[in-house]
Structure 1
Amino acid sequence: MQQWYQELFNSFVNKYENESFTQGTVGEVDFLESEINHDKSCKILDVGCGTGRHAIELTKRGYQVTGVDLSEKMLKRAREKATESGVGIDFIQADARNLPFQGEFDLVVMLCEGGFPLMETDEMNFQILESASRSLKKGGKLIFTTLNGLFPLFHSVKDFINSNSESQTNRENSFNLMTFRDEYQMEIEDDEGKVLNLNCNERYYVPSEITWLLKSLNFNPVDIYGCKLGEFSRNDPLTTEDYEMLVVAEYLINE
């Protein structure tokens, strides 16, 4: 049985690229470059790469990038876009919880909810972080965005989503203060014009949780910031107004 995110990403490929939250690629890649000091020898892994927007932009700038996603339909579009852009990228279908890499990359990125935190359990989400850590070289960096658990304590997630997406409507949101999970019904029109009704479940994290999880995997330091579309910055402190948080962590040990 497919999970809701599998059904979504297999049916919402072309329209995904027109969403407002996918329009900040250039600015986001500017930040990634600054974090690796524009070192073109760095090998980069893009987890949950989707249609390849970050991987393609990074490759255009001279980096060697591998893209991984669970959705073959997303990857098919990513390969088409890479060909159209004249760049060669290794796109691989794989589960983010079990990446086929061992100490190969200088930078691992998971942006725009690239797998984490969409899993059904906290343990499964943690497996994604474990898998990312195994993929890194000693001293490598993990940069990802995830849902900010401080946001739904002060705001309506349903109202935020409905005001920021032309194609998606959220209904019956139920944010659980014990689990920090938001369960909701999503109504969205797929690439063929068919209306999908999905029962969704996403995990929000507070900064202290992320810090603890990553330090348990030998990441240090762990820095967390606010996350502005297309404007990632270390000068942007996380607040209750940020729907997402930006996490930058350095991996100390590679066994």
Structure 2
Amino acid sequence: MKQWYEELFLNYADTYEKEIYTQGTLGEVDFIEKEINHDKNCRILDIGCGTGRHAIELTKRGYSVTGVDLSGSMIKKAMEKAETAGLNIDFQIADARNLPFEQEFDLAIMLCEGAFPLMETDEMNFEILKNAAKALKKDGKFIFTTLNGLFPLYHSVKEFIESNREDGSFDNSFDLMSFRNISNMEIEDDDGNLKVLECNERYYVPSEISWLLKTLNFSNIKIFGCKIGNFSRDDVLTTEDLEMLVIAEL
């Protein structure tokens, strides 16, 4: 049986590219370039690359990029786009929990929930971080975005306090014990078929992310708020940020 994230991306590449959260590529790549000081010798690994939007833009700007994704249909779309643009990019179907790379890259990126934190267990999510660390050279940098646990925590408690139910009950899809949000997502795939998927996503608070990265020997860990297409170290993380931007160095 396929997991919800596998089912989602079976036939979703064209629709994915129209989603609002995929429209900030240029600004996000501007930020990535700044973080690596525009060093064209920097080898980049794009984990959960989807249809290759960041990998393709970075390659256009002169960088060597390898893109990996679990979805064959997304990788197929990425390869088609690269070929149309006349670009030679190494796109591979690969599971972020078990990557074949070891100390090969100067930078790893994992943006827009490309893999982490969609996995069904915390252990699987940790394997993704571990594989990213393993793929990086000494002094490598890791830039990724993930779901901000402060957002649902704050709003769940706020809604609980404001709840006026006589029986004291409270409906909430966010589990305060596991920090997982379970919800139904209705989508229309590229062929117009409607699907209802039960999503199960893990939200993390900043202290968890810092601890997980420290166990993998990352240092200089910085966490910021995350705005689509407008990543910035000046963006302080708040309870209103659905995502957080994480930057760490080995």
TM over 0.5, yes or no?
A: yes
Identity %: 70
- Map 1:148-187 onto structure 2 (within 5 A): 148-155=148-155, 174-187=173-186
CA distance in 1, matches of 2:153, 2:200: 17
In structure 2, the residue matched to 1:204 is 203
- The answer to whether the 8 A contact 1:173-1:185 is kept is no
**What amino acid is aligned across from residue 96 of structure 1 in structure 2?**
A
Contact kept? 1:46, 1:108, Cα under 8 Å: yes
Q: May I ask how many residue pairs the two structures share in their alignment?
A: 236
Q: How does 1:216-255 map to 2 (within 5 A)?
A: 216-251=215-250
Q: Which runs of 4+ in 1 moved over 4 A?
A: none
AA in 2 matched with 1:106 = D
TM-score in terms of structure 2 length:
0.93
Superposed CA deviations along residues 105-149 of structure 1, whole A, max 9, x for unmatched, are 000000000100000000000000000000000000010000000
> Partners of 1:110 and 1:155 in 2: how far apart?
26
- Residue-by-residue CA offset, 1:212-235 (whole Å, 9 max, x unaligned): 000010000110000001000101
Structure 2 CA distance, aligned partners of 1:140 and 1:46? 14
Give CA-to-partner distance per residue, 1:64-92, whole Å, 9 cap, x none.
00000000000000001111111110001
**Offset at residue 155 of structure 1 (A):** 3.4
SS of alignment partner, residue 186 of structure 1: strand
Q: Look at both structures and tell me which one has the larger radius of gyration over its CA atoms.
A: 2
Tell me the residue number matched to 1:192. 191
Q: Superposed, which structure 2 residues align to 1:91-130 within 5 Å?
A: 91-130=91-130
What are the superposed Cα offsets for residues 31-85 of structure 1, whole Å, 9 maximum, x if unpaired?
Answer: 1001110000000000000000000000000000000000000000000111111
1:200 is displaced (CA, Å) by 1.1
| SS at 1:99 equivalent | coil
Q: Secondary structure at the match of 2:191?
A: coil
What letter corresponds to residue 56 of structure 1 in structure 2? I
Task: Give 1:150 shift.
Answer: 0.5
Quote the RMSD (CA, aligned, Å).
Answer: 1.0
The answer for the alignment partner of 1:80 in structure 2 is 80
* Cα distance between partner residues in 2 of 1:10 and 1:137: 33
CA contact (8 A) 1:145 1:227 kept: yes
Offset of residue 173 of structure 1: 6.1
TM-score computed with the length of structure 1 as normaliser: 0.91
| 1:47–1:96 contact (8 Å) kept in structure 2 | yes
* 1:49 and 2:49 aligned: yes
Q: Aligned-pair distance for 1:95?
A: 0.4
C-alpha separation in 2, matches of 1:179 and 1:239: 21
Structure 1 gap segments, 5+ residues each: 157-171
